Amino acid sequence: MVNFTDQQFKELMEVVKHTPASTTLDAPTLQGPFDARTPNQYGIFSSPGVRPERFSAMAWPNTLATLLTETSLNASEYTEEILEIMTGVTAAAGTNATGWCGNPPTVGQGKVCQQIYSWGDYYVKTHLNALPEKGQLRNRADIPGEVLNSSPSSWPLVPDLMFRMSDTRNQLQYELWLIGAQLARVLDLVLVQGNNATASTATNHGWIQEFDGLDLQIKTGYTDAKTGIACPATDSIVETFSAAVGGTHATDGRNMVQVLSDVFYGLRRRAEKMQFGGGVSWAIIMREELFRSLVDAYSCLYHLYRCAGTQYEENNIDQMTTNMLRLEMLQGNYLLIDGIRVPVVFTEGIAQTTPAANTMQSDMFIIPISWMGVPLTRLEFFPMDNTYLTEFASFVNPDSFATMNNGLWLATERATGMCKEYHFASKMRLILETPFLAARVDDINYTFSAQIRNALPGASFYSDGGVSIRTDS
C-alpha cells in the first residue's frame, strides 16, 4: 500500500480528468482550420477577401424572463418549495341559542391548499475543442472579423461574457456565445410550457428535468398536493375564446373587449375582497403576432362594447379616436381595459398553431407581478456558490469549478489528452404565488402577415441558411 502526503494526493488528483462522452472533435470555428483537421475545412469567417465587419440576421427571442428578473430573481436552498394558500373557513355548525344560558353555534374551521414547486435542471456543454489548434488563422488572407450586432445589449440570466464576441479568433468567446444563444431559445419554452413530470427524453434540449410553467400553473382544477382534495378557491380564471380576435366568444357571444373586461374586473375584485387592496400589479403575456392583430380589432370595439346600438339607432365610431387608441396601445405595448393601461410582455414560449389556412392560434395570460413590493410571480434558482458545494468542489482542485451570476451558473471542464470541453449547469423554477389572481384566455385565432423573424427553429417566421463550415472550392 502506497501512502501519499496531502500535497502528493492533491497533485495526483489534479491530473485525473473525466473523459468526454465522445472524443470526436466537433468544434465549430469562426477563424482558422476546423479542429478535426479535415482537409479543406475552415471556420465560417475564413473566406478570403471578405470585409471583416459583418451584420447578423439572427433573431433573439422575446422573453418573459426579462420581466421576471426585473421584479424578482431569488436564491433558494430548498429542493422543494412547499407553499400553502389559505382557501377559506368552513360554515358555522349547530343552532342558535334561545338565550344567554343556551348552547350557541360553533364557528367554522380554516382550510388550506398545499402546492409543491420543484427544480428544473439545466445542463449543457460546449463542443470538444483541441487546445493545440486554438488561435490559428487559415492564411494571411484570413482577417479576424467582427459581428457588429452579435447579441442583445443585455439578456437576463446569461452572463455578459456569454455575449461578448469581440474577437472572432477567440474560440472561448464563440463557444460561450453559443451557450447563451441556446438558453435564450429554450428558457421561455419552459417558462410557459414546462412540465416537471416530463421524462428527460422528451424535455426541451438541455433540460434534464423541466419546472412547471405557466400552462400548468394558470389553471382550474387545483388540488391539495398531499391529499388530492379539490381547492377551487385556488383556481385561476380560464376562458376558452375559440374565435377570431374580432369575433365573438364561441359559447356566449362576448367579443374580446368584453371578455378581457370581465376577466380583469374579476381579478381586481378578487384582489380587493381578499384584502390585497389596490396594490396588485398585473401584466398580460402573449405572442407579438397576436398582439398586433388584437390591437387592430380591440381599438374598434373598445368604445362600443357596452353600447353597440341597434338597427337604425347605431352608434357612431370616431375613426380618428379609434386609430389614436390603436397607435398608442401598439407603440406603448399595453391594452386599455376599463380605462386601465395593462402592460403587455411578449414571449415566443407560448405555443402557436395553424388551425386553418392563413389563421394562427395561441393563448394569452394575465399574471400578477407583485403586491406592495412583494413578488407574486417569481423565478428562483439554487445558488451554486453555496458554502457546501464550494467546499466539496475545492477539496482536491479548487480551480476545477467556477460560478457565475451570483451562483446561478456552475461551470466545469471535461478533458481528454489535449482536448477540452466546458459544462454548464443551473437549477431554476417558476413560482406563481397567487394562481387565483391569474387568468388565461385560450384559443384566440388571428391572421398575421408581417414578415417578422422568430428566434426558435421550426417556428412560422424562423429563417437561417448559409454554411457552418467553409470549404475550398
pLDDT digits (tens, 9 = 90+) for 303-346: 776 555 555 555 566 678 888 999 999 999 999 999 999 999 99
Q: Which of 302, 297, 334 lies closest to 315, judged by CA? A: 302
Which of 37-41, 90-94, 103-107 is least confident? 37-41
Confidence at 10, pLDDT banded by 50, 70, 90? very low
Per-residue pLDDT, 236: 98
Per-residue pLDDT, 309: 56
Which of 78-82, 118-122, 225-229, 356-360 is least confident? 356-360
Per-residue pLDDT, 108: 94
Average confidence (pLDDT) over 363-381: 95
Q: Where are the beta strands (DSSP E) in 101-253?
A: 110-118, 120-125, 129-130, 146-147, 207-209, 237-244
Pairing outcome for strands 359-371 and 280-286: antiparallel
Reply yes or no on whether the pLDDT at 153 is more than 80.
no
Per-residue pLDDT, 438: 98
Q: Which residue has the higher pLDDT, 213 or 309?
A: 213
Q: Hey, what amino acid is at 434?
A: T
Residue 160 φ then ψ, to 5°: -55, -35
Per-residue pLDDT, 314: 56
Average confidence (pLDDT) over 170-195: 91
| Residue pLDDT, tens place only, 11-27 | 434 444 566 677 778 77
Reply yes or no on whether the pLDDT at 150 is more than 80.
no
Helix, strand or coil, per DSSP, at residue 16? coil
Distance CA 229, CA 113 (A): 8
| Residue pLDDT, tens place only, 131-142 | 888 888 888 888
Per-residue pLDDT, 379: 94
Distance CA 267, CA 262 (A): 9
Which of 121-125, 343-347, 352-356, 363-367 is least confident? 352-356
Residue 125 φ then ψ, to 5°: -140, 160
Which of 108-117, 193-202, 308-317 is least confident? 308-317
Per-residue pLDDT, 147: 84
Whether 188 and 347 have beta carbons less than 8 Å apart is answered as yes
| Residue pLDDT, tens place only, 30-40 | 888 887 667 77
Residue 292 maps to a domain: yes
Average confidence (pLDDT) over 450-472: 83
Average pLDDT value over all residues in the chain: 87
Reply yes or no on whether the pLDDT at 106 is more than 90.
yes
210-215, long-range: CB within 8 Å, 24+ apart, which pairs? 210/120, 211/117, 211/118, 211/119, 211/120, 211/428, 211/429, 211/430, 212/117, 212/118, 212/429, 212/430, 213/349, 213/430, 214/285, 214/365, 214/367, 214/430, 214/432, 214/440
Q: Which residue has the higher pLDDT, 60 or 344?
A: 344
Residues found in the chain: 473
Distance CA 349, CA 448 (A): 18
Residue 260 maps to a domain: yes
Q: Which of 84, 420, 125 lies closest to 224, judged by CA? A: 84
Residue 153 maps to a domain: no
Reply yes or no on whether the pLDDT at 116 is more than 60.
yes
Indicate the number of domains in the chain. 1
Distance CA 36, CA 23 (A): 11
Per-residue pLDDT, 313: 53
Whether 71 and 56 have beta carbons less than 8 Å apart is answered as no
Per-residue pLDDT, 466: 86
Q: Which residue has the higher pLDDT, 9 or 437?
A: 437
End-to-end CA distance of the chain: 61
Residue 224 φ then ψ, to 5°: -70, 135
Pairing outcome for strands 237-244 and 439-446: parallel
Residue 39 maps to a domain: no
Helix, strand or coil, per DSSP, at residue 182? helix
Residue 458 maps to a domain: no
Residue 235 CB-density burial (10 A; 0-12 exposed, 13-18 middle, 19+ buried): middle
Per-residue pLDDT, 305: 62
Per-residue pLDDT, 338: 92
Residue 312 maps to a domain: yes
Q: Which residue range forms the structural domain that includes residue 266?
A: 66-86+110-119+213-379+431-446
Residue 237 maps to a domain: yes
Residue 470 maps to a domain: no
Per-residue pLDDT, 229: 97
Residue 290 CB-density burial (10 A; 0-12 exposed, 13-18 middle, 19+ buried): buried
Per-residue pLDDT, 308: 58
SS3 for 243-310 is EECCCECCCCCCEHHHHHHHHHHHHHHHHHHCCCCCCEEEEEEECHHHHHHHHHHHHHHHCCCCCCEE
